[in-house]
Structure formats: structure tokens, C-alpha cells
Structure 1
Amino acid sequence: MAEVKLTQVNKRYGPVHAVHDVDLTVADEEFVVLVGPSGCGKSTTLRMVAGLEEISGGIIEIGGRVVNDLPPRDRDIAMVFQNYALYQHMTVYDNLAFGLRNRKVPEADIRKEIDRAAAILGIEPLMGRKPKQLSGGQQQRVALGRCIVRNPAVFLFDEPLSNLDAKLRAQMRIELKELRTRVATTSIYVTHDQVEAMTLGDRIVVMKDGLVQQIGTPLQLYRTPANRFVAGFLGSPAMNFVEVTVTEAKGGLALSGFGPDIRLPDAMSAALAGQKGQKLVMGMRPEHLVLGEESGDSVIRLDGSIVLTEQLGAQQLVEVRIGDHSVMAAGVDPDLHLRGGDAGRFSIAIDRVHLFAAGDNGPVLWSAGSGGSGGQAAPLRHVS
């Protein structure tokens, strides 16, 4: 097992700066997920750890050893690719044995390691088949088995579930989670799917435009996002954003522009000191926007109309028009018969909202979860 440490790691392709000054330490046996939209630099970062891409600057260490100039075979890593990368002319057994045979491991030891991996993954009946005779999920298990038999210090996963259908992806997420309890290995996992990131990772690294936006546990990032991008990227349905203006109110501050003026509690007024007259972005998780009128002095009450509903069985998702804004409410009773055009009152507790500086990547000024410990926010730099 091994710790993986990246210090000021960069990658340039000519004038394109693909990865900017990544600092990340993955502890021994920790499972860290790199997540972000296409082109954010997450796969490039993983491939630099693997030795499949040369770094343009910085230091990569695996188990305390600098591996910048080592080829992949000497880094003690095993990688699962998006396309499985199985040898189509070989049986499952031979696919699992291939790497060990290249390392001149005795055949008896190879058999022992393959039997162990096959038992862990439940693929014993597949040993005599070839990849074209396997389903997508079975091929993915074989690809995982090829890593397990090597007993590497580090597992690297490059979007391994992206070729599977939705049902099989959900099943494989559960199997990966269970696999971690049986094979505790330092792991770095790349995905663009925030559900995979939230369900699998001990910690999540959110990336955008080659920059690390925030690092933290799933709940830290969900409750205390460092900026508007992180807030909008994690969560399904996505966070609602509306533009508001900070105005003066008797004894403090208020927010205007979304329903009636919202008087802010003293703590929020203090946090926004100096923002008077500024336009901010207010974020609200759909599950915190409640259909009906909540009681209490710190509740925002909003009158709106139903635009449409999505019936999911366990709940309804409801799109609501409030003034000039369209927002989504989640967790609505599925037995309520709601139709487009119906009027409704919605409520949200003021301590559930997030406030960000204006702009798509505006930093957080107030977080609903600021009473707890937030994730590590990386300083944001201009992308040239």
C-alpha cells in the first residue's frame, strides 16, 4: 500500500495549460475521486500519475518515491480503463494471467492469485470465455480482476463505468463499494458523474479548467461549497441560483429581487458587511424548498405558480415560477395532484441558503453549512 502525493503538478500541451499547480495527497488506502466536466484536466492528472503522460512541472510521489521519470511498469500501479482494454483473442483466465506471466511469476502462484481475484469478483464461471462472450458488467469485473491479481500499491480508475447502461452502472457502483472492503488499496478514481463521486469517494477533488476548485469529503463539499461552480456541480437536482441585491434594512441587511425583501439574521448581516448595494447569487438546494408555509421567524415565504411536475414515485420534482425566476423543488409528496398553472406557496429557512459573489465561479460569501467544517478550497487562478 502507498500514499500518493502530487506537488505543484502541471501539464502543458504547447500553449494550452491543461492542468494547473495541482497539490493533492492521497493517504494510504484512501479512495479519492477526481470529478468535473469534460476537459477539466481530471483524466490528464490521472494519466500523469500512471506515467502515461509526461508532467510539465511538479513532483509525483508514490509510496514516498519520486516517480516523475519512471515508466508505468515501475510505478507499482494498476489501471482500469474506460474501454476495459481486454485482449479479445484470450480467455478470461489468460487475460488475468497475462501481466503476471510477463513478470515471470510461477504458474502455481498465478493460479492462486487468479482464484483469489475470481472469488472476490464472482467470475469463477467465466474463466474459459473470451471477452466477446461477456456482458459489459462481466468485462468490467475481469478488468478489475486483472488489477487485483497484481497486488499493486495503487489502483487508478479512468471512468470505468461510463460505457455501462444506467441500471448496470448503479449495480457496479455498489460492487465497487463492496470491493473496497475486501481489497483495501490506495485508489484514485476519475469520473464526470457527480453521483459516482458522492457515493464512492472518501474525498472528492472538484476540477474545472485545469484548476482544483475544492477538496473535501462528499458532505463537506455538498454542504459548504467553496464557490458557485462546486455548488452547482454537486447535487441532483442541481442547486437553484437566483440573483439578489444586498440592501439596507432596519438594524441590518436584507436581500431583494426574489419575492419580498428577505431580512437577514445578525450573523448573515455581519458576514455580508461591506456588500451593501452589491448583486449576489443566492443558492438553494431543491430539497430545502418546501411546498407549503413553514413556521418560524427565519423562514422565507414565496408565492409562485407551478410550471411542471416530474413524478418519480417516491417523490415529485416541481418546477416553480416565482417572479422572474424558475426554480426546482424536490421531495414533494407524490400523492399531491399538482398541475401547471396552479398557485402555490413555498418556504425555505434562511439558514438553508448559500450566498455567492456574482459570476459563474463566484466564491462563497455565506454557506448554509458554515457552522460545520468545510472542504479545503484551492485558490483560484486565471486560466491563460
Structure 2
Amino acid sequence: MGALSHIRVLDLSRVLAGPWCAQNLADLGAEVIKVERPKSGDDTRHWGPPFAKDPSGNDTTESAYYISINRNKKSITLDISTPEGQEIVRGLVAQSDVVIENYKVGQLAKYGLDYESLLKIKPNLIYCSITGFGQTGPYQHRAGYDFILQGMGGFMSITGEADHLPGGGPQKAGVAIVDLFTGMYASSAILAAVIHRDRSGEGQYIDMALLDTQVAMLANISSNYLCSGVSPHRWGNAHPNVVPYQTFQTSDSWIIVAVGNDGQFKHFVQVGGREHLADDPRFANNPARIENRAALIPLLAEMVKEKTKAQWISLLESAGVPCGPINNLQEVFENEQVIARGIELHVPHPRAGTMKLVASPMRLSKTPVEVRMPPPLLGEHTDEVLRSDLNLTIQEIAHLRSKGVID
């Protein structure tokens, strides 16, 4: 039994931030019912290729994007713009603990599915709205997209190669970090609201905004600005306060070297055959190395190119110098530590036969995370949910299907 096995979540969200939040709750044991549009479903079902393969090696209709964020959920199709669809949502809300939605501000009020309306059905409801800019402020009605928020929220002003170097300029992250962080923060907020409800009997409204999250997740960088009044700039893979703490190109690849103190620097240059650099007054301590970064880094770059990635990793690990490779995804999933931790999962799937997923990183000793269901087919559980949860008859379900309310 998962830690949240007593919780039911009605997931009215789509794309990434909301589904990521709902998947976290589902992994922890919550029953999650995902409501999707008839015919097309969640937008991400079509965000491919790549798609999962069937046992014969042919593409299924299950996109890699969709399956990464929707395991452990039931899928029902429902047209919530219809009175019948709205009534079904209300019926499910009456039996749920949490609602997650990421519609534009005010959009669900048109259907009577906003927080205030649903409180009349479920007085202790926990209702989480996820939008680009939140429910208040001059931007509340703007659409919010991860890429735009990475720029607007300051992330891209500190990410990318330094402006004066080749290739310098703003750079987004390689994954939609604002959506993912917002989903994680939303998960935490919902869990806090569940604890509060269990203690007090009160539900509450949660207003999550991508912009808020992006500014908050800059952590020490935001704090640096607030304390100094100076906007930080891009350093690429270098560190503003520690040298050398960056990537270096080897004879065959790249490595990361993260020298944290003067002793580690001495060991670094010793194994590279440049012992004299540790005795050079320009490089003898970290403040000096920062001041003379422009002179030091080319010397170290020349040194590192003399050996392969594997040679450097072996030498530096033996010398106690923090280092690591820059792996591609094949190397990641072939890594012995990743294999030992069981991060790649193989789960049964009705179309793919066996589907590969990435395990949740949450490791709980008493209530472990488990994959109870693969990412659902579109509308896979519609009939089941309507029959078992709302007591609809076969004839009533057939009537809804004939009107296009469900698939």
C-alpha cells in the first residue's frame, strides 16, 4: 500500500507540469483519474516520434513524451464543455480528494468547474491550479510556456557560454525545467494541503505559477542579486567563485573537473604532469586562481587534452579529485550505478508488450513506490470508472458515447 493509497486525484491537466505532479502522487500510491479530450486526448500523445515499439518493432501510437509522465493513472475521455461532461466531473469530484487543473485563468468557471463551484459539492476539496503567471497580477491571463518562462524568469541570463566567447549568448535548459519544477512544487503543496486537511478537516486552493517557480528555483543566484544588487552573468560551464570548476576536453571526449580546494588543485596538476602550477603564486590558492583565470585555464586545457577521458577519470578518482564524465543517454543507462539502482523499468503494456520507463527516484522504506499500471491508453478506463464510481448503466454509457461526450 502506497503512502497515498487513501487519496484520489482527479487530473484535469495536460502536457507537462500538471501531469508530472499527478504522476508523482500516483507513484506514491494515490489513485489518479486522468480526464482527456475525446478522440485526441492529451496533446503530448501526439508529440512524436519517437513512439514506443510493439513486440514486432513497429511504432505504436504511444509517444515517448506521453509515457514519461502518465504511468499509474487511469484514463477516461470526457468532453467537459458539455453539460453531461460537467455533471460527470462533479460526480467524480464528490468522490475525490484533490483536483489538478492547468486551464487558463477563469476558463473552468464557464463550466461550473472552478474551485468555488466545486466547493459546494466537496467542502474539504484540495484544488490545485497551475498556470503560467498565477491567478493574480497583470499577466494572469497570458499563456505561459516553459521556454518563455526560462527567459522571462532569469534562467537564460545565467545559462550559456559567456558572452565574450565563441557561441556565447542565452541558452535554455535541455529539458523543460520550469514545468518540471512547478510540478514538483505542486506535489509538495498538495501533500501539505492533505496533511492540513487530515488535521483540520479543511481543504484549500493552491495557486501555482510557472514564473513564480522559475524565480524561486534560481535559489542562491536570486539571493546573490538581492544581496548585492548586481545581476550575475553567464559563465558557461565555469564557476564564478571556484577555479578550476568546469568542463575540459580530453583527447577523445569531455570531462568535468570540480576542484573544491587548494589540495585538490595540487593533486590535479600533479597527475597531469604540471606540478609547477601549484607552486606558481598566480595559482597557489583559489582567490589567486580566480584573479588569474584567463592565464590558468588555457594551461589546464592543454594538459587535459594529453589523456583520454577514461585515463583522466581513473587518475583523478585515485587522487581524490572530484570529476566525472559527460555521458550520453546510452552511457547513462549502461552505467553500473544506474543499473544497480534499477532506474530503467520494464513494465507490461497492452500495445508495446514490454514498455521501458524511468523509475521514480523516491525511495521509501515502508511505503515503496511501485508501478502498478503502465501509462494508459486513451480512454482505457472510461467505462470502468463510469460504472464503478458513478454507477452508470451500460445503456447510459452508450448514450453518452453516441452524443460524443465520451469515446
Could you tell me the TM-score, scaled by structure 1's length? 0.31
Could you tell me the TM-score, scaled by structure 2's length? 0.29
Larger relative contact order (Cα-Cα within 8 Å, sequence gap ≥ 6): 2
Which has more radius of gyration? 2
Higher helix share: 2
